[in-house]
Amino acid sequence: MKDLNEILSHFALEGTVTEVKPLGAGLINDSYKVTTTPPEAPDYVLQRINHTIFTNVDMLQNNFYQVTTHIRHKLEARGETDIDRKVLTLIPTKDHKLYYFDGENYWRVLIFIHNAKSYEAVTPEYSYYAGQAFGDFQAMLSDIPVELGETIPDFHNMEFRLKQLHEAVAADPVGRVAEVRPLLDELEKRAYDMCLAERLHREGKLPKRICHCDTKVNNMMFDENGRVLCVIDLDTVMPSYIFSDFGDFMRTAANTGEEDDKNLDNVNFNMEIFKAFTKGYLETARVFLTDVEIDNLPYAATLFPYMQAVRFLTDYINGDTYYKIKYPDHNLVRTRAQFKLLQSAEAAVPAMKAYINECLGR
């Protein structure tokens, strides 16, 4: 890899770089904290973009720029203060590009947000903050005047994920279909209902919005007083159904067990997390949501464990070519855990609907 100081020299930085050291433990991009002098100059974050996942770096960086610029305008219109800590800021290269290509890797630079931290803990309190933050994020972007691209095409397209499963079953490359036939039958029974979003969109009843598509508690930055500053990790921000942000949070945060729990008794749908996130989300997102979107939030909570079960099982049938595994039937264990979460979420749908009505005073 090229010298990091040489890479930084291509960006329009203020001050003089004094230190570059690894930052965080990101699973997708490599990040570095860049310290500068004098003290009034900003510090920066240098990131190597993973272009094997995000193959269209032009689109990725244009999305990033358009989203952060629009949010900045919204915060200014609200009369917010300390805006540089409430939205990510891209630093252009000296030739006014949004990234630098060194012949092998793609790099970008952001302003480092001081005195900010993220939390891993999934509690009702932080789930409520997450609901508010991601609802506000969607609300601010609901009128963005430009068209954004899909950085990962068909990422949350249920029809596409089922097509991948059907192709894997037809090929059966490592002879695993027979042993998982009961699971396949259960998933197939639900296939039509789980493709509801795509049908509603084709019928003109469900719009695509600008969504984060990776809603986790640790994708928010908090200030020193515990208040949310901003939503981070914007690479997956793209047009999708609002179900992406709502359902994906529920799949990870409202699971009482682990994603790959071998003991299925541990895996249940946590209604306290659902209520906390939903309350916060509706407080900020209600201003733009349609009745169809609101009425199908419980569907979103079932869609994402279903989608992930389909994806894990597809990979298992294909011989474990996508997800990293720690033991031979790891993807099958994951599939069963997601299916158990799905069943628990399905049982909770009446309670979810009742709580949403309560939040809206219906």
Supply the pLDDT for residue 26.
52
The C-alpha torsion from 195 through 196 and 201 to 205, rounded to 10°, is 180
Supply the pLDDT for residue 25.
58
- CA 266 to CA 66: how far, in whole Å? 42
- Top-confidence residue, 121 or 199: 199
- CA 308 to CA 291: how far, in whole Å? 26
- CA 107 to CA 11: how far, in whole Å? 10
pLDDT at 316 over 60: yes
Cβ contact 316:332 at 8 Å: yes
pLDDT tens profile 29-73: 689 999 999 989 999 999 999 898 899 999 999 999 999 999 999
Confidence of residue 294 (pLDDT cuts 50, 70, 90): very high
- CA 188 to CA 194: how far, in whole Å? 10
- CA 333 to CA 260: how far, in whole Å? 6
- Top-confidence residue, 176 or 26: 176
Length of the chain: 362
Q: Which residue has 């309190």 as its token pair? A: 125
The second-level CATH assignment, the architecture, of 4-111 is: 2-Layer Sandwich (3.30)
Supply the pLDDT for residue 1.
47
Domain 124-359 class? alpha beta
* Domain residue spans of the chain: 4-111, 124-359
Supply the pLDDT for residue 217.
83
pLDDT tens profile 220-258: 899 988 888 999 999 999 999 999 999 999 999 999 999
Supply the pLDDT for residue 2.
64
Does the N-terminal peptide bond of residue 38 adopt cis geometry, omega within 30 degrees of 0? yes
- pLDDT averaged over the chain? 94
- CA 207 to CA 203: how far, in whole Å? 10
Give the pLDDT mean for 156-181: 98
Structure tokens at 36: 């500068």
Confidence of residue 27 (pLDDT cuts 50, 70, 90): very low
Give the pLDDT mean for 98-103: 96
Supply the pLDDT for residue 24.
72
Nearest to 250 by CA among 206, 306, 291: 306
- Top-confidence residue, 226 or 308: 308
